[in-house]
Amino acid sequence: MFFFELIGALFRELRPRKVEARGRSRTRAVGDAAEEFALAFLKKEKGFRLVERGMMDEDGELDLVGRVKGNEGLVVVEVRARKEGGMLTPREAVDFKKQQQVVKTAQRLLRRKGFYDVLRFDIVGVYLNDRDEPVRAEHFEDAFDRSVLKKRRRA
């Protein structure tokens, strides 16, 4: 019982304040809150150090780019927010096409910044309550890699 109380306290502490959508779409506000929640979770649980956030160009965006304690390579993190109990898990929501887009975008944007040491691609799923507030996060380490560029999608 103590373990579950500890986990609950941890997530209450990590929960960001409610985000109001002032001049922004509600979807974007929820996405921003999910990214904040994911970042706080990764910092606390994995020793994540943020290098870049929201890197974008005309073809894509990288949600979070950072380093994890004990590894010197970069970690690119795709954040997915989903309703608790929804049809797709956050990991399933990052489909083959999205994986390819993230890898291509990472190669392009990080090279421009002088980073050549991508270690892995992770997914952090952020689960939302009925009011679209983040309540918990799940980390899928090394969820996909560069090889998605060489593979063909299976029918």
pTM: 0.79
pLDDT digits (tens, 9 = 90+) for 102-117: 999 999 988 888 887 8
The pLDDT value recorded for residue 24 is 64
Rg over CA atoms, the chain: 16
- CATH number for the domain spanning 80: value is 3.40.1350.10
Give the pLDDT band (50/70/90) at residue 21. very low
Of residues 115, 138, 15, the one with CA closest to residue 65: 115
For residue 139, pLDDT over 50 is answered with yes
DSSP annotation string for 22-33: SSS-HHHHHHHH
Count up the domains in the chain and report the number: 1
How many CB atoms lie under 10 A from the CB of residue 142?
11
* Residue 80 belongs to some domain of the structure: yes
Residue of 114 and 41 predicted with greater confidence: 41
Question: What domain range is 38 assigned to?
Answer: 2-149
Q: What are the tokens at 3?
A: 């373990």
* Residue 154 belongs to some domain of the structure: no
How many CB atoms lie under 10 A from the CB of residue 127?
21
* Residue 94 belongs to some domain of the structure: yes
Give the pLDDT band (50/70/90) at residue 133. very high
* Residue 30 belongs to some domain of the structure: yes
Which are the contacts of 71, defined by CB distance < 8 A and separation ≥ 6?
A: 119
The pLDDT value recorded for residue 117 is 80
